[in-house]
Amino acid sequence: MAAKVSVIMPVYNAAKYLKTSVGSLLAQTYPHLEVLCVDDGSTDGSLAMLQEYASKDKRVRIFQTDHSGAGKARNVALEAASGDYIAFLDADDYVDTTLFEKAVAKADDANADIVIWDLWYYDEHFQRDQYPPQGVLNYNYFEGDDPVFSYKRNPGQIFTSFQNWIWNKMFRRSFLVENNLRFPDLHRTQDLEFTAMALVLAKRITLMPERLSHYRVNSGTSNMDNKDKHPLDFMSAFISLKGRLEQAGIYTEVKQSYVNWALCSSLYNLVTLKQFSTFKSVFVQLKTDGFTKMDIMSNASASYIYVADWYADYRYMQEHEAEDYLMYCMTKYRLAEQRYVGILDQLGDELRTTQAQRDRLSDECNTLHDECNSLSNDCSTLRDECSALRTSRSYRLGNAICNLPHALRSFVQRLTSRR
C-alpha cells in the first residue's frame, strides 16, 4: 500500500537524537507512511545515520540541502511528498507510536484539513516529560457540538489557542497544494506564517486532546535555544503574516488574536535572548517600529490584551530604556522565583505529611496482614484438629453411640409393623 502519511523532518547536526526521533516514526502502529529526512548540511554524522536507516527501511527517503535553514528543507520535502497527509517532526523531538494511527482515523472520519493534538515538554536536563501537567493547548474556545470547525468559531482566539507549531498538526496535502502554503526563507519562526495561514484557510479542523508529541527543551540544539543568531526573524515573520492576512481579506476578523500572539511572542523572544547587545537591539527595534508594524502600538490596551502581565510588560517597555526593562524583568522573575520557592516549600510540607500518613497506613496494613496470617494459621490448625478428630476411634465410637437410639427406634418400628 502506498504511503498515506508523509512525515517531513529537517535534520541539522542531530545525530544524538535520531535514534529516538526516527525510531519513533518507524515504530508507528500505523505502517503506511513515508519519512522524508532532509539533511541540511550536517557535520556530525547525521547523514550517515539517515542513510543507514534508509538502507534498512524503504519508507525512509533522504534529501540534502546546503545549510539553508529548516524552512527551505521542509519545502524540498513538500515537493517530493506523496502521502494524502503531511506531518512534521523536528529531529530532536519524538512522537508516541500510536500518533498516526489515531490522527489518520480522526482525519478520515472528519474529512479534516487539519488535525491538532496536544504535547509534552520533554526536559533534556531531567530526561523526562516534565511540564506543564495540564497540557499546552487551549481547546476551550473551540469546543462545540460539532467536533469539526474553522477559525470562524472563535476568530479572536485562533492563534493564541493553537500556536504556530507545525509538529503537533497533520495537514491534508491537497489543502496545502490548493492554498500554495510553503515556508518562508527565514532561519527562525518559519512555521508562523505557514501554520497561521493554514489555520485561517482551513474549512475543517478537528482536535485530539491527547498529548502525543514530545517537544525537547533545554537541549541547546533547537532554534529556540539559538535565537541570538537571528534575533529579528520573529518580527519579520509576524509582519509578513499580517500582510498575508490582509491580502486574504481575513485580518480584521482575526486581528485581536494576531495582536495578542504577536505581543506575547515579542516579549518571550526578547527575554529569552542570551546576549545583552542582542537584547538591546531587539528592544530598540520593537519600540522604534516593530510594535507599530505588528499593529500592537495602535491596539494595546488593558481591555484588548488578554493577559494582564503582557500589557504591563508592554507599558513598561514603552516608558523605559532597555537597561531598566532588563532590571524590571529580573526583579519580576526573582519575585516569581520566591513565589515558586514558597509553593515548593508548601508542597514539600504536604508531601511529608502525605508520606507520614502513608507510613502510618503501611504500618496498619502490616499489622492487619500479620493478624490475618495469625488467624489463617489458627484456622489451619483447627482444620487439622477437626480432620484428626473425625478419623479417631473415640470419634467413631461416639458417632456409633449417637446413632444407637435411632437404630433402636427403627428396629422397634419394624417389629410393630409386623404384628
**Tens digits of residue pLDDT in 312-331:** 999 999 999 999 999 999 89
Low-confidence ranges of the chain (pLDDT < 50): 223
pLDDT value of residue 93: 94
62: cell is 533522504
Q: Which of 226, 38, 258, 21 is nearest to 159 (CA)?
A: 258
pLDDT value of residue 204: 97
Q: Scanning the structure block, which residue is given the C-alpha cell 557535520? A: 43
Over the Cα atoms of the chain, what is R_g?
A: 34
pLDDT value of residue 132: 61
**CA gap 114, 148 in Å, rounded:** 10
Per-residue model confidence as pLDDT tens digits over 238-287: 999 999 999 999 999 999 999 999 999 999 999 999 999 999 999 999 99
Identify the burial level of 298 via C-beta atoms within 10 angstroms of its C-beta, where 0-12 means exposed, 13-18 middle and 19 or more buried: exposed
Q: What percent of the chain has pLDDT over 70?
A: 94
302: cell is 488593558
Angle at the Cα of 376 from the Cα atoms of 373 and 382, rounded to 5 degrees: 145
First and final C-alpha spacing in the chain = 99
pLDDT value of residue 113: 98
Q: 1-227: what fold? A: Spore Coat Polysaccharide Biosynthesis Protein SpsA; Chain A (3.90.550)
Positions of CATH 3.90.550.10 in the chain: 1-227
